[in-house]
Amino acid sequence: METELKLTADTGDDVPNKKAKVEENQNVETFNEMKTDEDGTIEASKLSKRQIKKLRKLAEWEIKKKEKRLKEREKYRQKKLEALEKGEPRTGPSRKELKRNKAAESKNFLKVAVDLDYDDLMIDKDIGKCVKQLLRIYTINRRSLAPAKLYFTGIKKDGKIHKSLAKNDGYENWDVQWAFNKTYHEILSKNDILYLTSDSDNVLETLEKNTVYVIGGIVDHNHQKGLCMDRAQKLGLRTARLPLSEHIDMKTRTVLSTVHVFEILLKVSEGISWTKTLLEVLPMRKGAKPKEYTSSFNGDKDSDIEEFDKNDTIIQTEEN
């Protein structure tokens, strides 16, 4: 049921003419603070001036957001037309090509499930960050020449993650296997599951065709230490960590964001070496450098170093 605002009291506040900058987490926070009647309506007499002002800004932003998207689309169309007139080659796949690029028809064997059963453990700000990472994962996968099969699992129906997802028009049509109110171990065979966590003693050296790699979809700034590992152990699941220390040296902790873990798996599944992948994907703040290998180290690490050219452009992606 949509919430209706009844302005029955004079607040004396005018809506500012300047551009409203309302973050998604502020919107959710505002509604959480409000008291509603049994019919779902909100009386202004029950709201503070600050809450009413936020509601007005939110309503104004919803209108401006649509106008902004229309302008962005028109700007994109103009850029495409200008590029065609200049005879410039296409820099990426066309929309038709992307629509045909389905995971079900992909030659890539990789299967990745994001465990989103952490709805109650994240504050509204981190819920927004989590959903943004899901959007980036979907975008990266969709633009891949060989997309992986994606599962977004454990989403609570009408929960915070679900409501945040719903703000993205057409998310239901993403090339993703959705699991609402069902976890990854309820829709997948436990024998096929491998939970990726930095707390595991097992090192992921190669990707297996019959394995579904589970990534914890939680943004908590390392407040919930060992949470993913604890969940996996209670369910009797296999666990492993990415081979970071085996291939690179880092200045910071080895806990990575969900989107970075997925991008690493995708690139390695495409045949790119661990070293080259890690140096391309990890953000600059991690201070990643190629590992100094010794002859006693097992594995094809010399070829990894040769494959990575220090003069190559390193793609850096920042994500908190």
Q: Which amino acid is at 167?
A: K
Return the active site residues: 220
Verify that 60 and 157 share a domain, yes or no: no
pLDDT value at position 65? Answer: 79
| 3-state SS assignment for residue 299 | coil
Q: pLDDT truncated to tens, each residue of the chain (320 aa)?
A: 344 443 333 334 443 443 444 344 444 444 444 544 444 455 556 788 888 888 888 888 888 878 888 888 888 788 878 877 777 776 666 666 666 778 888 899 999 999 999 998 999 999 999 999 999 999 999 999 899 999 999 999 999 999 999 999 899 999 999 999 999 999 999 999 999 999 999 999 999 999 999 999 999 876 778 899 999 999 999 999 999 989 988 777 778 899 999 999 999 999 999 999 999 998 877 777 887 753 334 444 444 444 444 434 333 333 33
Are residue 154 and residue 197 in the same domain, yes or no? yes
Task: Give the start-end residues of each E strand in the chain.
Answer: 4-6, 41-43, 111-115, 149-155, 177-180, 193-196, 212-216, 238-240, 248-249, 289-290
CA dihedral 124, 320, 24, 166 (to 10 degrees): -90
- Averaged pLDDT score across all residues of the chain: 78
* pLDDT recorded at residue 314: 33
Please tell me the predicted confidence (pLDDT) of residue 267: 96
Say if residue 153 is in the same domain as residue 195: yes
Residue 275 inside a domain? The answer is: no
Q: Count up the domains in the chain and report the number.
A: 2
Residues 167, 52 share a domain: no
Q: In the prediction, which pLDDT does 35 show?
A: 46
Closest CA to 119 of 189, 54, 210, 180: 180
Q: What is the pLDDT of residues 81-137, one digit of tens each?
A: 887 777 777 666 666 666 677 888 889 999 999 999 999 899 999 999 999 999 999
The residue count of the chain comes to 320
Same structural domain, 30 and 129: no
Residue 261, exposed/middle/buried by CB under 10 A (0-12, 13-18, 19+)? buried
CA distance 215 to 193: 11
Residues 24 and 135 in one domain: no
144 and 35 inside one domain: no
Alpha helices in 101-183 (DSSP H): 124-142, 160-165
The boundaries of the domain holding residue 161 are: 101-242+255-270
- The CATH number for 212's domain is 3.40.1280.30
